[in-house]
């Protein structure tokens, strides 16, 4: 053991200024802070040629492009070794809540920006202030071109680590050398105290340790006083050797040390942030999947001479990635900062929507939409005046192309409206001429005359499209659908019987029609209200389970009942809050879905959706960015992405215990807990905005609380035999979050067929194509594969006429760069050779 005061111990001191671009201020003030801090840091470097300053966040360097003289000085400092770019990502995001592919884009856009503006990429991962880290992160860091990692949260009292310096092993086996620092800030008036805390924190057996110094959060960086104090301490005989250095220099000093390996997550800190500010989380999830879908369709449309819109997509990704900064996505900023974020994410969704539509139109233009190959001039039978408008009778009907962005075939409900349809007849066929069942719905507009709305189930090829046709003909009556039934007491199809409680509008039973077994151990899909006295971050809170009451006073009504689906609506209330849940079953599908609209008016409480599964020996599995993890079913609040599962043993009608489980999927929530077999999905929290203990609230002041007003969430239940892998839960969750799109077309000829798959997988049952995009620098394609089942697999990627053999280890993210000629090579997130 080396004595902490020994000169044999080298303490590497790294200048730093933590800058939250948004927190208790908006992004404009963040920009001003970056500019002032960069100026101050450059001045300190000129005064101290032996000092090094480190800074992350490519977005902040991109801001400085509007200050070219300042940016040129930063680049010069990088070139002479006094300024170290770290992190490698666009911002320091919340890595629990961002999609795994969004973290890949943090690296792609971040490292490219570092290279372009600074002439050097980062090698050290840097997330000192993010609120916890999933066990998938080592792989994502290494694929970002990083070989070491610095973090601060969770702190010493929140996690038990074998050492402050360790090799962090991810779920796929990837390792990265990681340093758990004591703090990322220091007061210039208390530099000695800060250094002493850091020394007490160090691993005892090491001859080297590291500390960050400089004023932070609102920037600032190292001060003259702090630097002078450091130099005075360095001369003291009872202090270790103090060396001004870079983070890279520190890691080079310890890279070959014998340090322990730690496998697992780095959790937990600020559990309340998993649910804080529902709107930012909903928009984030929507924007992530909208961009991924837009890219896939843009690639599919290249065969129709569509020009891939790099510039638009890059702008959209930058807007999304910026708003994944930890104090934004985690919900810990001020209200005005969120208004900016909503506007920026609205732009992201708008760009993604325009790209998706343009790509779908290009594909539609290339498809032969004629019926039976007739000439186009034979198609239009007549045009007549009917009341307020001209009506065209189409002998070939109205072609509708439905697009599937997923890498697996899927069967999904599609809702569509037509115009100028003044007849009761409506018949739907697919590209083979087979009639497809449909169900009339109420038009979206109350003035929907001549605009029929209907729903049907589309069966779609992987990463492709299928042509459907709406005909002004009477149905043949030969389409047979399994019966559906619905009443205010329950709803049934061939798979399930859902039975409702009359007072709460929740499920008193969920019965498997084949086994006769009720999968619920109590009331399911119940809306409960629990006490939440914690601050915005949830400091000190490990769980939210103190029951206050349940939504009740239910009004139940049958909303839809037809050939395709049945829906029962339950309207309930709690005090001043109201909720509407629409429960839906489909005729030919085991899918159980609901749309929940919650108008939340409570403060210092949380709303939760509760499902008690009738299971024993439960294992709880949560989706995390680019993977999954199993956690104790102990009731503590956990971060989750789009799905979580409880699996164990259920008894059948004969009392025999069999493996079974229940998965809950969602389209906008990130906070959940499992206690035994009971799942709780937290829907809303309502502390005061940006309230951080120990600050006290003045009862005489009116504060603005989180999540007041309406919000919507779509959820789906997946009961299953065996475990969740056989039920393909991750693939179903992706489909819930990345729905199909369609375009109405007119009748024309074309070279493309009525159904086509641009990309499909064989032999890769637990693999999904999480991203399909054009490479940044040429016409190559990037195909990102993710093994989601925790199993080693091998199989084939079919891309057009090309077949590419691949192997993936459990939970691996594998990126292929494929040339137009079909040559494939493995690359990292930077689209460069890897492994």
Euclidean distance between CA atoms 672 and 639, whole angstroms: 7
Residue 792's pLDDT is: 99
Domain membership flag for residue 17: yes
For residue 826, the cross-strand partners are 816
For residue 743, the cross-strand partners are 401
Domain membership flag for residue 608: yes
User: Could you tell me if 95 and 72 lie in one domain?
Assistant: yes
Residue 394's pLDDT is: 52
CB half-sphere exposure, 78, CA atoms < 13 A: 23
User: Could you tell me if 497 and 526 lie in one domain?
Assistant: yes
Strands (E) across 592-751 are located at 592-600, 605-612, 616-624, 627-631, 638-639, 643-651, 657-666, 671-675, 678-685, 709-721, 741-744
Please report, for the domain that includes residue 509, its CATH number: 2.70.98.30
Asked whether the beta carbons of 498 and 585 are under 8 A apart, the reply is: yes
Euclidean distance between CA atoms 657 and 84, whole angstroms: 59
Tell me how many domains the chain contains. Answer: 4
User: Could you tell me if 90 and 235 lie in one domain?
Assistant: yes
Q: Which of 209, 243, 269 is the last residue of a domain?
A: 269
User: How many other C-beta atoms are found inside a 10 Å radius of the C-beta of residue 730?
Assistant: 24
Query: Please, what are the averages of pLDDT over each run of 10 residues along the chain (835 residues)?
Result: 73 98 99 99 99 99 99 99 99 99 99 99 99 99 99 95 98 98 87 88 91 96 96 93 98 97 98 99 99 99 98 99 99 99 99 99 98 56 45 73 98 95 90 96 86 96 98 82 93 98 98 94 99 98 98 99 98 99 97 98 99 98 99 98 98 90 99 98 99 96 98 98 96 98 97 98 99 98 99 98 98 99 98 86
Domain membership flag for residue 308: no
Euclidean distance between CA atoms 182 and 185, whole angstroms: 9
Please report, for the domain that includes residue 473, its CATH number: 2.60.40.1180
Domain membership flag for residue 341: no
User: Could you tell me if 476 and 496 lie in one domain?
Assistant: no
Euclidean distance between CA atoms 811 and 792, whole angstroms: 8
User: Could you tell me if 117 and 233 lie in one domain?
Assistant: yes
Give every CB contact of residue 374 below 8 A, 6+ residues apart in sequence: 395, 396
Euclidean distance between CA atoms 574 and 111, whole angstroms: 49
User: Could you tell me if 130 and 97 lie in one domain?
Assistant: yes
Euclidean distance between CA atoms 622 and 636, whole angstroms: 13
User: Could you tell me if 253 and 136 lie in one domain?
Assistant: yes
Q: Which of 430, 459, 480 is the last residue of a domain?
A: 480
Residue 835's pLDDT is: 62
User: Could you tell me if 502 and 440 lie in one domain?
Assistant: no
Residue 187's pLDDT is: 82
Euclidean distance between CA atoms 689 and 702, whole angstroms: 12
User: Could you tell me if 469 and 506 lie in one domain?
Assistant: no
Euclidean distance between CA atoms 555 and 501, whole angstroms: 10
Residue 739, classified by CB atoms within 10 Å of its CB into exposed (0-12), middle (13-18) or buried (19+), is: middle
Residue 7's pLDDT is: 84
Give every CB contact of residue 69 below 8 A, 6+ residues apart in sequence: none
Domain membership flag for residue 469: yes
Euclidean distance between CA atoms 138 and 178, whole angstroms: 9
Residue 477's pLDDT is: 73
- Report residue 778 as tokens: 């040429």
Alpha-carbon separation of residue 573 from 128, 292, 450, 453, 549 (angstroms): 42, 37, 37, 31, 11
User: Could you tell me if 654 and 708 lie in one domain?
Assistant: yes
Nearest-10 crossing angle of helices 100-118, 310-322: 110
Please give the angle made by the CA atoms of 14, 19 and 24, to the nearest 5 degrees: 145
Alpha-carbon separation of residue 92 from 128, 355, 596 (angstroms): 8, 28, 32
User: How many other C-beta atoms are found inside a 10 Å radius of the C-beta of residue 508?
Assistant: 18
Residue 2's pLDDT is: 55
Euclidean distance between CA atoms 467 and 403, whole angstroms: 9
How far the first Cα of the chain sits from its last, in Å, is 37
For residue 796, the cross-strand partners are 762, 805
Give every CB contact of residue 129 below 8 A, 6+ residues apart in sequence: 18, 20, 92, 152, 153, 184, 326
CB half-sphere exposure, 809, CA atoms < 13 A: 7
- Report residue 406 as tokens: 């997923």
Euclidean distance between CA atoms 817 and 779, whole angstroms: 10
Domain membership flag for residue 736: no
Euclidean distance between CA atoms 769 and 759, whole angstroms: 9
Euclidean distance between CA atoms 169 and 540, whole angstroms: 28
Q: Which of 220, 247, 269 is the last residue of a domain?
A: 269
3-state secondary structure of 494: coil
Q: Give the residue numbers spanning the domain of 217.
A: 10-269
Q: Is 519 left (phi over 0), alpha (psi -120 to 50) or beta?
A: alpha
User: How many other C-beta atoms are found inside a 10 Å radius of the C-beta of residue 336?
Assistant: 12
Give every CB contact of residue 355 below 8 A, 6+ residues apart in sequence: 294, 295, 297, 298, 309, 312, 313
Strands (E) across 183-286 are located at 208-213, 241-244, 261-263
Domain membership flag for residue 592: yes
3-state secondary structure of 623: strand
3-state secondary structure of 355: helix
Asked whether the beta carbons of 3 and 9 are under 8 A apart, the reply is: yes
Euclidean distance between CA atoms 451 and 416, whole angstroms: 10
User: Could you tell me if 16 and 151 lie in one domain?
Assistant: yes
pTM of the model: 0.96
Residue 4's pLDDT is: 62
Helix (H) or strand (E) holding 785, with range, is strand 781-787
Domain membership flag for residue 316: no
Residue 421's pLDDT is: 85
User: Could you tell me if 587 and 440 lie in one domain?
Assistant: no
């Amino acid at each position: 053991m080396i004595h902490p005061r020994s000169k044999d111990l080298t303490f590497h001191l790294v200048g730093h200024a933590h800058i939250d671009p948004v927190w208790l201020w908006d992004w404009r003030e963040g920009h001003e802070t970056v500019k002032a801090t960069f100026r101050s840091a450059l001045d300190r470097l000129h005064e101290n040629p032996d000092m090094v300053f480190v800074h992350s966040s490519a977005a902040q360097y991109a801001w400085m492009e509007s200050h070219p003289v300042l940016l040129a000085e930063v680049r010069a400092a990088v070139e002479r070794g006094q300024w170290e770019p770290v992190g490698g990502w666009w911002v320091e995001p919340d890595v629990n809540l961002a999609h795994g592919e969004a973290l890949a884009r943090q690296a792609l856009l971040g490292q490219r920006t570092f290279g372009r503006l600074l002439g050097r990429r980062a090698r050290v991962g840097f997330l000192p202030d993010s609120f916890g880290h999933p066990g998938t992160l080592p792989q994502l860091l290494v694929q970002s071109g990083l070989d070491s990692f610095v973090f601060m949260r969770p702190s010493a009292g929140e996690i038990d680590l074998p050492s402050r310096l360790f090799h962090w092993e991810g779920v796929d086996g990837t390792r990265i050398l990681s340093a758990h620092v004591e703090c990322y800030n220091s007061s210039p008036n208390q530099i000695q105290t800060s250094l002493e805390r850091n020394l007490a924190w160090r691993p005892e057996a090491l001859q080297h340790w590291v500390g960050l110094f400089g004023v932070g959060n609102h920037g600032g960086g190292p001060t003259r006083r702090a630097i002078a104090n450091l130099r005075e301490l360095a001369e003291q005989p009872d202090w270790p050797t103090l060396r001004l250095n870079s983070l890279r220099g520190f890691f080079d000093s310890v890279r070959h040390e014998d340090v322990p390996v730690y496998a697992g997550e780095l959790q937990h800190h600020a559990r309340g942030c998993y649910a804080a500010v529902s709107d930012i989380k909903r928009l984030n999830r929507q924007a992530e999947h909208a961009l991924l879908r837009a890219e896939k369709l843009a690639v599919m449309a290249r065969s129709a001479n569509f020009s891939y819109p790099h510039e638009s997509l890059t702008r959209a990704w930058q807007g999304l990635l910026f708003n994944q900064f930890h104090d934004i996505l985690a919900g810990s900023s001020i209200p005005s900062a969120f208004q900016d974020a909503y506007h920026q994410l609205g732009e992201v969704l708008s760009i993604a929507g325009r790209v998706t539509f343009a790509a779908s139109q290009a594909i539609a233009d290339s498809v032969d939409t004629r019926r039976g190959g007739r000439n186009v001039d034979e198609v239009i039978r007549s045009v007549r005046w009917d009341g307020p408008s001209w009506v065209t009778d189409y002998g070939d009907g109205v072609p509708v192309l439905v697009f599937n962005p997923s890498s697996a075939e899927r069967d999904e409900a599609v809702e569509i409206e037509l115009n100028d349809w003044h007849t009761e007849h409506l018949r739907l066929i697919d590209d083979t001429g087979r009639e497809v069942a449909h169900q009339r719905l109420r038009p979206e507009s109350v003035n929907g005359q001549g605009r029929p709305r209907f729903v049907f189930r589309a069966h779609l090829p992987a990463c492709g499209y299928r042509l459907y046709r709406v005909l002004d003909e009477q149905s043949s009556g030969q389409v047979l659908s399994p019966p559906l039934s619905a009443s205010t007491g329950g709803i049934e199809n061939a798979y399930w019987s859902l039975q409702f409680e009359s007072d709460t509008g929740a499920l008193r039973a969920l019965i498997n029609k084949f086994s006769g077994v009720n999968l619920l151990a109590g009331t399911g899909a119940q809306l409960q209200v629990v006490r939440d006295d914690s601050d915005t971050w949830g400091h000190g809170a490990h769980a939210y389970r103190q029951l206050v009451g349940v939504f009740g006073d239910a009004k139940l009504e049958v909303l839809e009942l037809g050939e395709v689906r049945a829906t029962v609506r339950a309207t309930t209330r709690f005090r001043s809050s109201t909720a509407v849940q629409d429960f839906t079953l489909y005729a030919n599908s085991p899918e159980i879905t609901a749309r929940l609209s919650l108008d939340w008016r409570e403060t210092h409480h949380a709303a939760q959706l509760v499902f008690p599964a009738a299971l024993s020996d439960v294992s709880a599995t949560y989706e995390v960015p680019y993977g999954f993890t199993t956690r104790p079913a102990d009731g503590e609040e956990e971060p989750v992405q789009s799905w979580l599962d409880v699996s164990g043993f259920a008894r059948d009608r004969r009392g025999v215990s069999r493996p079974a489980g229940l998965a809950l999927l969602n389209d906008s929530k990130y906070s959940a807990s499992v206690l035994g077999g009971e799942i709780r999905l937290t829907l809303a929290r309502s502390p005061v905005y940006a309230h951080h203990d120990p600050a006290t609230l003045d009862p005489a002041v009116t504060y603005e609380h989180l999540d007041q007003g309406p919000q919507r969430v779509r959820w789906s239940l997946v009961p299953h035999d065996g475990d969740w892998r056989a039920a393909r839960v991750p693939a179903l969750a992706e489909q819930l979050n990345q729905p199909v799109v369609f375009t109405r077309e007119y009748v024309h000829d074309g070279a493309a067929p009525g159904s086509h798959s641009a990309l499909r997988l064989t032999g890769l049952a637990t693999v999904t194509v999480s991203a399909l995009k054009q490479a940044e620098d040429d016409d190559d394609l990037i195909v990102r594969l993710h093994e989601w089942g925790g199993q080693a697999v091998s199989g084939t990627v079919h891309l057009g006429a090309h077949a590419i053999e691949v192997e993936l280890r459990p939970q691996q993210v594998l990126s292929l760069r494929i040339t137009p000629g079909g040559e494939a090579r493995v690359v990292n997130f930077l689209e460069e050779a890897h492994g």
